[in-house]
Structure formats: C-alpha cells, structure tokens
Chains A and B, each alone.
Chain A
Amino acid sequence: MEAVGLTRRGFVTAGGALLVSFCLPGKVSATADAGRLASWLEVREDNTVLVRTGRTETGTGMSGYYTQVIAEELNMRPEAVSLLMGDTDRTPDGGYSAGFVYGMNNVRKVAAYAYQALLELAAARLGVIKAELLVVDGVVHGGGQSVTYGQLVQGQQLDLRIPVTGRPARADPNGWLGMTSLDGFNVGGDPPLKPMSEFKIIGTSFPVPGIPDKVTGKTRWSCDVRLPGMLHARMVRPVTLGSTLLRVGKVDRTLFPTANVVRKGNLLAVVAEDEWEAISAAQSVAADTRWTDWSGLPGSENLTGALREHEWGPPSGTKGDAAAVSLTKHSRTITASYEQSYVRHAPIGPFLAVADVRSDGSVTVWTHSAQSQGLRARLAHMLGKPAEKVVVRWLEHSGQYGRTTFGGDGAEADAVILSQLTGKPVRVQWTLQEDLAWSTASPGWICDTSAALDAKGNITALHYAFRSPHMTEVRALGALLAGLPGHTAKPGGFLAMEWAYDRVSNRLEEAFGMPNLGAEAASGGLRGHIMRTPGQRQQNFALESLLNEAAAATRTDPIEFRIRHTSEQRLIDVLKAAAKAAGWVTRASPHRNARKSGADTVVGQGVCVIKRQNAYWTGIAHVAVVPATGVVKVTHFTIAVDCGKVINPRQLDRCMKSGVVMGLSEALKEEVTFDTRKVTSTDWSRYRILTMEEMPEIAVVQLSRDDCGFGGGSEAANAVCPGAVAAAFFDATGVAARRLPLTPGYVAALLKS
C-alpha cells in the first residue's frame, strides 16, 4: 500500500488547500461550467467514477488510456472508472480527439483534484490527517477505519472549482479555421500528480473497455440510431465536382410510394421511410437528373506537373535561416524533388449522420465526428443559430484518421438540412462511391530539397520547400452544395516537422499553400484536409529520403549518417534498437548486388525516422523487388518507438503494427485518381489499400522510460513506412524512388528510364 500525500506537498504550499462542500448532482449543465469539478467527474455511491470528456475514441484505444490515467491518480481499479465521451450537452471540454497527450492532461488533473478533495473528506470523516491516509482500490484507510469514495460522497457531488482556460468552439471569422478555438478547455493549476515511479495501472495492458461490446454486437454505433418517424436519405451528388443542377429527376410513385425528393440549391437527396426504398429511388432519380458539365481539374496524371507550374507566391510558413540556401549554392550539394499524389482517409464505413431539427428550433445530431464541439459550432453557423441550440451526440463508428478533426467534413450538414426541410428526423448514409469521391482528401504535393555537404560528408545546410494545396478544408459538403454559410480557412501551407537533427547547423524550411484544386467549383473542388501525421508525414518523407540520398552519395551507412547529425540520445537509442531487432547490416546503400533490370528478385534494406509529440520512431523496411515487373514486396518491417512512459504495452503494440499497415498501404498502393471532371478512384478496386496477404512480418520494439513524460504512441507509426520502403527500394535497385506510391507501373517505368 502506498502512503498518500508525502510526495505531494507542492500542491498545498502552492495554496491549493481545498474547500470541499457538496451540491446536488445534475443541477448544472456540464458545458455551462467547465470550472466545476463535478462537470468532469462524478463519484457514485457504488464507489465507481464517471468521467466526462469531450474527446472521443477514434480506434486508438484512447478510452482505455484515459481510464488508466484516471484510475492511477485516484488509486482505483480501472474497471471502476467509466467514460462519457463527446456529447456536447454532457461533457465539458471538446477539442481534438486526435492526440493523446493534450487530452490526457485534462482527465489526469481532474482526477488529481478529485483525489485531493476525497482525501480531505476522508481526513475529516476518519479524524486523521491526510498524510496518514492510505487509499487502495477506492477505499480510504486511516486511524483503524476505512471508508469508500462512494460513502464519502453519498450520491452528492464534489462542489469544487478547478482552474480552466480555453474557449469553447464558436464561429469566428478571424480565427484559425473560422473558429475561436478547436482545442477545447485546458485544466490548469498544479495539483499533485502521482510520480511515475509509483504507477501501478499505467504501464499495464489494461483491456480497452469498449471491445467486448464490439465483439458481441452490443455496441450502439452511430449507424444504429433509429428515431420515431425517421426518414432514410441517400444523396444524389453532382456528376462532376463543379456541376450545378439543371433539372431534378422525378420519383416514380408506383415504385417508391414513400419516397420524396428534397432539394436545396445543388444539394439533392431522396428520403423514404424504408432504407432500400431510399437507395433504389435515389438511383432512379439520379438517372433522371440533369446537371451542368464542368471540367476544371488537371487530371491526376498531370497533378504534380500542374503543381510545378502553379504560381506559388510567398511561403505561408517559414522556419530557419535563409543562409542555408546560399550555403547550398556554394558547396557540394545534393538536390532532389519528391512528390506524391492525393491520398485519402478511406474508412471502411462511409460518412453517416442522423439529425433531428425540431420546430422549436432545437437541433440534435448523432455523429461519429472526432470534433463534437467544433462540429456543433459549424452546424450552428450554417443554420444561423446560436451554438446553444445545437446538441451533438457522439457514438462510435468507423475510424476517421484525421478527417473530422476540424469538425467540418461529414454527413451531418446533409442530415441537418434534410431534417429541417422535411420536418422529420433524417438519417443520411453516404455510399462508398460518394465517400471516396466527395469527402476531403490529403492533397498531393511536391517538395524541392537540397543539402550541402562538407568535405567530411556531413550536412552543413539543408533546405526544403513544400508545396501543396491546403489541408484545412473546414466547410461541410452539404453546406457548400446548399449554398449555406461555412467557415473559411486561409489556403496556406504549414510546416509540421519536429526537427531531430540538431547537428545540421543551417536549415531553411518553407511551406507554400494554394486553394483546393478546382476551388471555383460549386462544391469547392478537391477539398484538402489533414490526415494522420498531417504535413509531417509528407515533409518527413522528403527529408528522410534526402538524407538517404546524401548518405549514399557519401558512401555512409544510413543509420550511421543519421547518428552523425543528431545529439538527441533518445533518437540514437531507438535507431540502434531498431537496427538490432531488424538485423540491419551496417553498410552504405545501394547493395553491391543492386540491379535495375531483370526478372530475378533483388533485395534491400532501408530506414526512416520521425520525431513527433515527444516520441522518437524508427522504421526499417526489407523489400524484395522484381525489376522487370516493378513489383515491390515488403518482406519484413521493424518499427521501434520511444514515446516516454508506455501506458499500455499491448495496445501500443497493436497501434504500431496497424500503423505500419496503413503506412505501407500509402507507400505501395494508395492514390486518388481523377480526370478533369471528377474523382475516379471510387471503390476498393480503384482506391486500393493493403490487404492482409500483403502485410509483411512486423517486429515491434518499445523503449519505455520514466524520465521523459508521455508521448504520442500511435499516430506517427504510419509516417516512417514510405520513407523506409523507398530507401530499401534504392538499396535493392540503385535507383531513387522520389514519388509515392511505389506501384508496379511507376516502378517499372522508373527502372527503365
């Protein structure tokens, strides 16, 4: 058992003595007062705890990690902690659901404040001083007696104020992404936190709470919401990205007795009481509907050429020293340009939402958005209503991978507009074709890089210029097509690198942005959005590829080359651990048997690192290439991370392996294709993602440490894959692959050139 309070004196000396009283539960709206502890945390008579967070589970195990962190601070069993996530009327903070670290601080501090309050109550109840209390599994012991948290609170609430900063999400034309804030509230102050050395729950593989219900079919997903009188809707989308509506198709009442066409501007849908009737009628109406033609895209085959021809203007993001550029002009330099086509989040479950707009002006929306509060503010703005009139209820659904982080994209606007027009609750289910054509995507890009090398082969200066259509589309498609207000984001680019190579003495990073491709289209064109490890994923591919080319030019082992350019010991440690686990052979690339032709397989090894959110990652790929066919097969992949204290080793293992699957998918297969009128990669045979058979053996290395806090342990796993695969391809063939993805067609042509 642990003696409480001995290591927590800083809290009291900082003036943190708590005045704890009670109030009745449920009297104050959670969103109204984030400064009330009871808005966040409720102790129940059965000695369980409910914590409310506006953040949500996105498939990375967040609900498990939060539970562990809360239970740790409260000295409770994690099984006694439950979470209420994402509902705007019942949770206080909101904010991005991406990123564990920031959201975790809130629930950790909330739990720590509650713990101190409970100790105060227990001290008074048991007649002993706080320092003499011991807490085990939610039971406070002292003076030969014991009392549970539930008994201390007895169905009432801790009436305690906690310091909170931050602003709720509201429309703001001057704010970034058109909002006051998308960060949610930030719990402040300095409550005593349990030292890592005393952790008992963090660091164990606690099972994620929602999994049993998902496995048995009990989970109520957002797609399972059914309301009395609810209509099913299917959208009828324009035939091109820029089409406007000429003539609305008719519904054949003999075939579709309950179906109706609903229209607002270019937003067209069919609603019906029966889902299959809505689907069939929508197909029939679509065939009978006429749109204007439009042609404003360069075509995906011409994408990067078009980006190179674009007149980019000044950079919207700059870091570093312009001297880096002049240095690269006066010494031995390596230059290379890298590029990638559009890729997209592409969840298995297309967008879906249910909305109930009532005649009294209230709006309720059921969603799987990862940004409930932001979504609420955007919907309110679209409707011209105060945010208080809109309630967003969150439920689990298909993963989002960043596409709803800003609260813009999704089916919610469609559902709200249709419910308002029909006067009934409406469930809008996008089709896969619709989703792969109309949801936001991670834009294609080009990146020009150069590195100056000294006589010893070390990089003295480095420059990169990243150019891409913007990744901050926050307008909902439904609002755009209906001609309703949406928020405007500045079409700039941003720099996302966290720099790991401190021994590169001069560097200049520049990002250039532009509007969506086809931005003048009624739908907004190819709408760009951030996606998992946003910006940094792309920029890091270019930089790490440049480093591999520089290492090869100086006949240096790529891992040794990296270690020479950093003094960050965590990076060096994780590189070495990965190399050991992967069976890395220390030598320069390319392999002495590298070949760029022939039907026989050549093999190679390649490495890529990334530093992100207090975590250091290394990926090592082993590939087999058949030059004649251009087929690249990843045979083994090793991924290593130091993300500070590991919270849940098994979930981290799962997230690392699954992140590798997504990253290899991007490296080898993924490409949004489009002609001059519309997106053409609109099913799984044309937007191809990695299958189970294509997954290599994956080795995982975790370096947990108690001296560097917590880091991001899931997101960036995808981002080390493309760079490692491209490096291994170079090792095998002696040819640098500077474009993603490494499809057989691209590779075969590259090797013949």
Chain B
Amino acid sequence: MASELELSVNGALHRVVVAPETPLLFVLRNALKLTGPRLGCGMAQCGACAVLIDGEEIRTCVTPTSYAVGKHVTTLEGLPALWGKPGELHPVQQAWIDEQVPQCGYCQSGMMIAAVRLLSRIPDPTVAQIKDAFTNTPPSPHLCRCGTYAAIIDAVKRAANTMRA
C-alpha cells in the first residue's frame, strides 16, 4: 500500500506517496525527476543506479525507498552542493569533463558516485586502489561496456589532486 514518505535528497526535503518497497531508483527518477541515476541491471550487478546515502554508496535499483527515510541521499545532481564551493562542480565531475571520460555515458553517474565515495575514504588512491574500489566493493563491480576504465582512473587521480590542493 502506498504511504507518504519524507525523503532528504540533495539537501531538500520531499514528500512522496509510494509503496514503501518501491526501489528508490524509480522514486528518484519518476517522482523527483532526478535522472542522473539510471536503470541498468535492476539487481545490483552494474552500478549505473548508484547514489550516496549518508555517504555510503547504495544501489537504488534494489533499495526500498523506506530505507532512505531519515537519511541523506545524494545523487549526481547533488554532487556540486556536496563539494560546497559556489559556482563549482564537484572536482570529480570536473575531472570527468577534463579527462573526457564518458563515451555513451550511461554508467558514468554511478562511476562518479563511486569515485566520490572512494576519495572520501582514500584521498590519494593508487591505481591499484582505484581498480580495487571499482571492482571489489560490494555488491558488484561497476561495469562500463564502452570500456572507459582507463579514463576513469585518470579522472579519479585528477580529482584527488584537486581535492587535496
């Protein structure tokens, strides 16, 4: 049955009326019009739908909306505010532009979320640490079918430099 839930997304409070088990992805995309996270596998196997919830990476395609109640959700669209410097993109986003990472770009919202999460834990990751984070962090590797992994590594290194400056 549908219930009214209050969600904090990208710093704003929203009331949505949904069945609480509805995966958060569909609420973000359809009710809140936040289309950064995208549907890939629908079973937490690819990472295209990733967002941050209280700073942790969460796959919204399998996470009930009720899980997000009382927590802070950050989508791709909320990354500049997370960085908090007016007029600037999040350094991860800027690095994604500077390094020309996206090809088709479908997976890249999730990739940037994973990068932000990684840099919050390891401010200056090695290539091995980047590969490990994008491959072995549960629940699954972040997959890119265009094959942009090398560009992602370059961009994470660039963003790390910016954020430590």
Q: Which of A's residues lie within 8 Å of B, judged by CB? A: 58-61, 205, 207-208, 210-212, 214-217, 219-221, 223-224, 226, 274-276, 345-350, 396-399, 401, 429, 431-432, 650-651, 654-655, 657-662, 665, 683-685, 689-695, 698
Contact = CB atoms under 8 A, between A and B. Distances in A.
A470 B141 CA distance: 33
Nearest to A663: B147
Interface in B143-158: 143-153
A346 B136 CA distance: 21
Contacts of A220: 35
A399 B148 CA distance: 12
B60 interface: no
A584 to B, nearest CB: 21
B100 A651 contact: yes
B42 A349 contact: no
Given A348-B40, A399-B106, A215 B145 contact: no
A432 B149 contact: no
A214 B131 contact: no
Contacts of B143: 348, 684, 689, 691
A interface SS class: loop
10 contacts: A210-B105, A211-B101, A215-B96, A216-B89, A348-B40, A401-B145, A432-B46, A661-B148, A691-B143, A698-B150
Given A214-B105, A348-B48, A658-B151, 5 more contacts: A60-B103, A212-B97, A276-B26, A432-B42, A432-B45
A654 B36 CA distance: 23
Nearest to A695: B149
B73 interface: no
Contacts of B112: 215
Interface string B32-57: 00111011111101101000000000
Contacts of A692: 130-131, 134-135, 141-142, 144, 149, 152-153
B19 interface: yes
Given A215-B102, A348-B106, A683 B45 contact: yes
A695 B46 CA distance: 17
Contacts of B102: 59, 208, 211, 214-215
Q: Which 10 A-B pairs have the closest CB atoms?
A: A661-B147, A658-B147, A59-B104, A693-B135, A399-B104, A217-B36, A59-B103, A214-B105, A398-B106, A684-B45
Contacts of B96: 211, 215
A684 B89 CA distance: 32
B93 interface: yes
Contacts of A345: 145
A651 B103 CA distance: 9
B41 A399 contact: no
Contact of B89 (A215, A429, A657, A661): A215
B108 A214 contact: yes
A262 B130 CA distance: 47
Contacts of A651: 100
Contact of B107 (A61, A348, A665): A348
B46 A396 contact: no
A398 B48 CA distance: 11
A274 B151 CA distance: 37
B148 A432 contact: no
Interface in B73-130: 75-77, 80, 89, 93, 96-97, 100-109, 112, 130
B22 interface: yes
Contacts of A226: 30
B63 to A, nearest CB: 13
A398 B145 contact: yes
B86 to A, nearest CB: 15
B106 A691 contact: no
Nearest to A226: B30
A115 B101 CA distance: 33
Nearest to A399: B104
B23 A659 contact: no
B150 A657 contact: yes
Interface of B: 18-19, 22-23, 26, 29-30, 34-36, 38-43, 45-46, 48, 75-77, 80, 89, 93, 96-97, 100-109, 112, 130-132, 134-136, 140-153
B145 A659 contact: no
B25 to A, nearest CB: 9
Given A215-B96, A692-B152, A693-B131, A662 B147 contact: yes
A657 B103 CA distance: 12
Given A276-B19, A276-B26, A662-B147, A349 B38 contact: yes
B103 A654 contact: yes
Nearest to B18: A276
B39 A429 contact: yes
B100 A654 contact: yes
Nearest to B23: A276
A614 B102 CA distance: 26
A234 to B, nearest CB: 11
Contacts of A661: 144, 147-150
A647 to B, nearest CB: 14
A603 B128 CA distance: 21
A680 B83 CA distance: 44
Q: Which of B38, B77, B149 has the most CB of A within 10 A?
A: B149
Contacts of A58: 104
A64 to B, nearest CB: 9
B31 to A, nearest CB: 10
B6 to A, nearest CB: 19
Contacts of B107: 348
A349 B39 contact: yes
B45 A685 contact: yes
Given A347-B106, A348-B48, A398-B106, A215 B97 contact: yes
A646 to B, nearest CB: 15
B30 A217 contact: no
A347 B153 CA distance: 21
B105 A216 contact: no
B105 A691 contact: no
Contacts of B145: 345-348, 398-399, 401, 662, 689
A275 B42 contact: no
B76 A693 contact: no
Given A276-B23, A347-B145, A349-B40, A61 B103 contact: yes
A398 B42 contact: no
A369 to B, nearest CB: 13
Indicate the member of A223, A431, A658 with the most B CB atoms within 10 Å: A658
A208 B41 CA distance: 27
A275 B26 contact: yes
B40 A432 contact: yes
Contacts of B147: 657-662, 665, 690
Contacts of A689: 143, 145
A347 B144 CA distance: 8
Contacts of A350: 39-40
B77 A217 contact: yes
A133 B101 CA distance: 40
A399 B46 contact: no
A211 B76 contact: no
B100 A275 contact: no
B89 to A, nearest CB: 7
A693 B100 contact: no
Contact of A223 (B39, B75, B105): B39
A67 to B, nearest CB: 14
Nearest to B41: A432
A240 to B, nearest CB: 22
A692 B102 CA distance: 15
